[in-house]
Structure 1
Amino acid sequence: MIRVLIVDDHTIFRSGLKRLFSDENDISVVDEASNSTDALDKIRKHELDLVLMDVSMAGRSGLEALESLRIEFPQLPVLILSMYSEEQYAVVAMKAGANGYLSKDAEPAELIGAIRKIAAGGRYLTNRGTELMLMQFSGKDDRPTHQKLSTREFEIMRMIANGISLTEIGERLNISVKTVSTYRTRILEKIGVKSNAELAKFALRNEIV
């Protein structure tokens, strides 16, 4: 039996997943969580085989939660299920420690197959996701600019684009404001913009926020 924790801030979506999995003899939803803090508490509480996590949640994002999760539970399989396409998040999620990435518009059979594969010790990406990952190791890198950022740079970029202050970002990531500012400068240079407003426009244009 594959014991699953569902982490998503939409109650209706969680309910839909539970109904979907109820038809499968080898998948059991042990619990659910609506935010990253609740998720970590329940991961500590239960014996789990896989965490199914949304990347975009109120408060700390799925990527932030994944970073904390990997510190405490480095071997626990995590499948990121997101409304964002693979071009936006797949590479970043896999670099952050996810075992798979799937868009929420995927067919139910594909989701169930991905869960089974990851729970068995594998990884899951669609053909496009695999192509994006392989681009990193080839001489030709056609990935969008934001996918070339480190995981931490990407997460700080999202926070800045969402209007979160440098002070609050530092508090959430447990780093100094000076360090956040250094990251901001590096991000602006890599993306090729000069201000937070331009960064926000870039994020909207690339459907990152």
Structure 2
Amino acid sequence: MKILIADDHMIVRNGLSQVLNAQEDMCVVAEAADGAEAFIKLEAQSVDIVLLDISMPPGENGLYTAKRMKEAYPKIKIVMLTMYDERQYMEEAISYGIEGFVVKSEPNEQLIQALRTVMNGGRYYTGINEADLSHLPHSDDEDQCYETLTKREKELLPLIALGYSNKEIASQLFLSVKTIEVHKTNIRKKLAINHYPELLRYCVKHHLIEF
């Protein structure tokens, strides 16, 4: 299996690459230091599984990156790697269609097992068996509002929350400033958010950005 590793710590990426490349059925074909780079690498490289850290500050949260990847590449398999075993993170990952969720405190053998399980069509979540996965709640009214956003609006949302100006966002996404202003207005209407602090709290609450 061809694997892309995304983690903001080079030592972690190097260690994971060494462990995974030692397996006969695994090959790390690309690495990334943050979500944006991971998305670019995925576009340029043939990958079977993305091993993605949840927390890669500053910028786009790993769960949000995973959600965007699933929307753009529905067939790609994703295993989240995290320091946290909080149920809220797991519920969000399940709602996004993410196949794996591994806590970093687990031994290497568990990570290897998780990757093989996911590659073979199964799901692996630390501490939760397959039968229990379907019983976890994972939606609310805010989730439904978020789903009304277009693909471009979802792309803009974390950039707006991080305080980038219209001009900076327009330059980064190769759009006009007027187009950005229209998208921002639509986002506020769909999420029923009128002020920047509310938008920032929304993005932090839903793990769309990291500081």
Q: TM-score normalized by structure 2? A: 0.65
Q: Larger relative contact order (C-alpha < 8 A, sep ≥ 6)?
A: 2
In the alignment, which residue of structure 2 is the partner of 1:141? none
Q: Which shifted more, 9-18 or 65-74? A: 65-74
In the alignment, which residue of structure 2 is the partner of 1:9? 8
Counterpart residue identity of residue 40, structure 1: F
Matched, 1:36 2:52: no
Check the 8 A contact 1:55/1:80 in 2, yes or no: yes
Q: How does 1:1-209 map to 2 (within 5 A)?
A: 2-57=1-56, 58-128=58-128, 131=132, 134-136=135-137
The whole-number CA distance in structure 2 between the counterparts of 1:99 and 1:49 is: 12
Relative distance call for 1:105 and 1:133 in structure 2 (3 A) is farther
Q: Unpaired segments of 5 or more residues in structure 1?
A: 138-145, 153-157, 188-195
The whole-number CA distance in structure 2 between the counterparts of 1:163 and 1:102 is: 32
Deviations 1:38-84 (A, max 9, x none): 21221122221101001112311112212221222101100011122
% identical aligned pairs: 31
- Cα distance, 1:115 vs. partner? 0.3
The whole-number CA distance in structure 1 between the counterparts of 2:184 and 2:160 is: 10
Relative distance call for 1:43 and 1:178 in structure 2 (3 A) is closer
Q: Unpaired segments of 5 or more residues in structure 2?
A: 150-157, 174-178
Relative distance call for 1:83 and 1:90 in structure 2 (3 A) is same
Check the 8 A contact 1:86/1:129 in 2, yes or no: no
The whole-number CA distance in structure 1 between the counterparts of 2:51 and 2:82 is: 10
Counterpart residue identity of residue 135, structure 2: L
Deviations 1:136-158 (A, max 9, x none): 39xxxxxxxx99x9789xxxxx9
Relative distance call for 1:159 and 1:40 in structure 2 (3 A) is closer
Query: What is the RMSD computed on CA atoms of the aligned residues?
Result: 4.3
Check the 8 A contact 1:81/1:102 in 2, yes or no: yes
Q: How many residues align?
A: 198
Q: TM-score normalized by structure 1? A: 0.66
The whole-number CA distance in structure 2 between the counterparts of 1:70 and 1:45 is: 16
The whole-number CA distance in structure 2 between the counterparts of 1:99 and 1:59 is: 23
Relative distance call for 1:36 and 1:135 in structure 2 (3 A) is closer
- Cα distance, 1:33 vs. partner? 0.8
The whole-number CA distance in structure 1 between the counterparts of 2:66 and 2:159 is: 16
Check the 8 A contact 2:85/2:126 in 1, yes or no: no
